[in-house]
């Protein structure tokens, strides 16, 4: 009897597995996305995409699929990748009905929402309004003295390191610089990384690399670090000390609103938004700065043109925003760096709204995920002739199509809140570097073994040192 029962159970399990498989094969072959271009496996599984996420090569993998299949490609049973700039613009336009997907909700540190992860447009609008004045172009003058302080420390410390050991680890110093600036702007306190040359890594080691699924596991430690800084800032403001004269992106307005409108903002919300600001403004800007310096050494003619522009501008020792605005070729250089090596080259996932939408000649039903791929959009050969060529001069006569295809900071209402601050940081650092004794350094090792494809999506084991030396070949 036992043998019969086991046999029946085995048959039942086999039938269930067969039915389950047949159902998904049927749906994959006949479902609403069945007619879309894409590899056969995408009808049944997303495992190849997951594999490349963990390798840090997703953007290259998806880009190759677009080269083969065109501007719209099915990449999983429920996700479509988009490389068409016009379609991307429609998806990310202001007041877009395409909302963020569950992927972003999973990026939350705890149950509290924040301005980055929320899919709720009303909640996002409320918090964006809190940030709006602080992060506006017109308010940059408020933050420039603070950024200048850390630029001066950055240059001084890098020159010291070169004298002492013969080379400079630029990535280390850029991460220290952006961590200190972002810490000051988000929670009112520097992390102290530039001054010591090492920094308080007991705090920064809690800042995790993506993918986002790792974030919840460190939320308790990370939030405790942010809370300590916020409590300290509150105490300084209450005492009329340093905190009362320090302007932050978030805390001043959030704490003022919290005090004025009881129950309007929770402590968890302040923590969650402070932490996401620290994360969003650190590695992104540091990595882009590393690319900028790498490209300056890779293309000495471009570096010489920037040197000439800076000399002709006759900038003061500490140039102001109006002084930096004169450097048009530097603007072109930065735009081209971010086109090819932007900090957000991966898919920006959105959910198709009710009723479905026609995209690139195909109907995509409601609830499906559409993912404009920044890496491919910025290499569209129609918009950017010879797209793989690094050419800052293309931006001297930038077309409307070029500007609209620029998703280096995202797009629409969900565009990066700190983009003006990030641009100012990068411009100040590049100018200071070119005017320092480090400007005659040589590229010692390159990025990722002298490869042109330094991964810009973070993944385990993906940290790469970028070293410069004077007549010393270094390795990492």
**What is the pLDDT at residue 212?**
43
The structural domains of the chain, ordered by start, are: 31-469 (1.10.630.10)
Residue-wise DSSP of 269-297: HHHHHHHHHHHHTTHHHHHHHHHHHHHHH
H helices present in 314-356, as ranges: 321-324, 328-341
- Give the rounded percent of residues in the chain with a pLDDT score beyond 90: 46
Q: Is 416 marked within a binding site? A: yes
pTM assigned to the model: 0.84
Question: Model confidence at 196, in pLDDT bands (50, 70, 90)?
Answer: confident
Question: Model confidence at 360, in pLDDT bands (50, 70, 90)?
Answer: very high
CB 168 within 8 A of CB 161: yes
**What is the pLDDT at residue 447?**
45
**What is the pLDDT at residue 397?**
95
The answer on pLDDT for 452 being more than 80 is no
324 in helix, strand or coil?
Answer: helix
Q: In whole numbers, what is the pLDDT of the chain averaged over residues? A: 81
CB 447 within 8 A of CB 169: no
Contacts of 46 (CB under 8 A, 6+ apart): 75, 76, 77, 79
C-alpha distances (whole Å) from 323 to each of 25, 173, 262, 310, 311 are 62, 25, 44, 10, 12
Which residue in 456, 89, 132 sits closest to 291, CA to CA?
456
Taking residues 118-134, what's their average pLDDT? 87
Taking residues 440-458, what's their average pLDDT? 49
Q: How far apart are CA 456 and CA 441, in angstroms?
A: 24
The answer on pLDDT for 3 being more than 70 is no
Question: Model confidence at 315, in pLDDT bands (50, 70, 90)?
Answer: very high
Contacts of 246 (CB under 8 A, 6+ apart): 146, 184, 188, 233, 236
71 in helix, strand or coil?
Answer: coil
The answer on pLDDT for 262 being more than 90 is no
- Polymer length of the chain: 476
Give per-residue pLDDT as tens, 418-427. 999 999 999 9
Least confident of 15-24, 200-209, 215-224: 200-209
Q: Token pair of 15, please?
A: 């039938």
Question: Model confidence at 7, in pLDDT bands (50, 70, 90)?
Answer: low
Residue whose token pair is 């300290």: 232
**What is the pLDDT at residue 343?**
86
Give per-residue pLDDT as tens, 270-304. 888 888 888 888 889 999 999 999 899 889 999 99
Give per-residue pLDDT as tens, 427-443. 999 999 999 877 777 66
pLDDT higher at 283 or 242? 283
Exposed / middle / buried, residue 97 (Cβ in 10 Å: 0-12, 13-18, 19+): middle
CB 29 within 8 A of CB 42: no
CB 137 within 8 A of CB 325: no
Instruction: Extract long-range pairs of 234-239: CB within 8 Å, 24+ residues apart.
Output: 236/188
The answer on pLDDT for 88 being more than 80 is yes
**Helix or strand holding residue 185 (H, E):** helix 170-187
Question: Model confidence at 203, in pLDDT bands (50, 70, 90)?
Answer: very low
């Amino acid at each position: 009897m036992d043998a019969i029962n086991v046999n029946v159970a085995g048959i039942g399990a086999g039938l269930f597995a067969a039915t389950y498989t047949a159902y998904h094969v049927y749906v994959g072959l006949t479902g609403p996305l069945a007619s879309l271009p894409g590899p056969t496996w995408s009808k049944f599984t997303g495992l190849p995409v997951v594999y490349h996420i963990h390798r840090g090569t997703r953007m290259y993998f998806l880009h190759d699929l677009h080269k083969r299949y065109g501007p719209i490609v099915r990449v999983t049973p429920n996700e479509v990748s988009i490389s068409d700039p016009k379609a991307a613009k429609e998806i990310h336009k202001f007041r877009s009905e395409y909302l963020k997907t569950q992927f972003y909700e999973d990026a939350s540190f705890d149950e509290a929402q924040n301005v980055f992860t929320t899919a709720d447009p009303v909640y996002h609008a409320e918090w964006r309004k809190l940030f709006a004045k602080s992060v506006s172009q017109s308010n940059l003058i408020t933050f420039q003295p603070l950024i200048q302080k850390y630029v001066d420390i950055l240059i001084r410390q890098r020159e010291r390191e070169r004298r002492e050991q013969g080379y400079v680890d630029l990535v280390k110093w850029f991460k220290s610089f952006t961590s200190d600036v972002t810490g000051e702007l988000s929670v009112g306190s520097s992390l102290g990384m530039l001054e010591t040359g090492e920094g308080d890594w007991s705090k920064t080691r809690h800042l995790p690399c993506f993918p986002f699924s790792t974030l919840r596991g460190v939320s308790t430690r990370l939030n405790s670090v942010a809370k300590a800084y916020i409590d300290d800032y509150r105490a300084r403001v209450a005492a009329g000390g340093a905190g009362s004269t320090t302007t932050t992106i978030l805390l001043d307005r959030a704490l003022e609103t919290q005090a004025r409108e009881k129950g309007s903002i929770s402590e968890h919300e302040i923590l969650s938004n402070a932490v996401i600001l620290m994360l969003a403004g650190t590695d992104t800007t540091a990595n882009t700065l590393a690319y900028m310096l790498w490209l300056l050494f890779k293309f000495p003619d471009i570096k010489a043109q920037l040197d000439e522009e800076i000399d002709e501008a006759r900038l003061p020792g500490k140039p102001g925003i109006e002084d930096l605005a004169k450097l048009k070729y530097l603007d072109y250089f930065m735009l081209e760096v971010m086109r090819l090596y932007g900090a957000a080259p991966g898919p920006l996932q959105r959910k198709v709204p009710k009723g479905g939408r026609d995209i690139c000649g195909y109907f995509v039903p409601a609830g499906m995920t559409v993912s404009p791929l920044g890496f491919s959009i910025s290499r569209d050969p129609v918009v950017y002739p010879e797209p793989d060529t690094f050419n800052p001069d293309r931006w001297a006569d930038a077309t409307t199509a070029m500007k609209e295809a620029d998703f280096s900071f995202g797009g629409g209402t969900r565009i990066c809140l700190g983009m003006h601050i990030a641009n100012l940081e990068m411009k100040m650092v590049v100018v200071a570097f070119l005017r320092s004794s480090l400007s005659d350094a040589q590229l010692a090792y390159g990025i990722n073994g002298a490869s042109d494809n330094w991964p810009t999506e973070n993944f385990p084991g993906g940290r790469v040192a970028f070293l410069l030396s004077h007549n010393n070949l270094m390795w990492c």
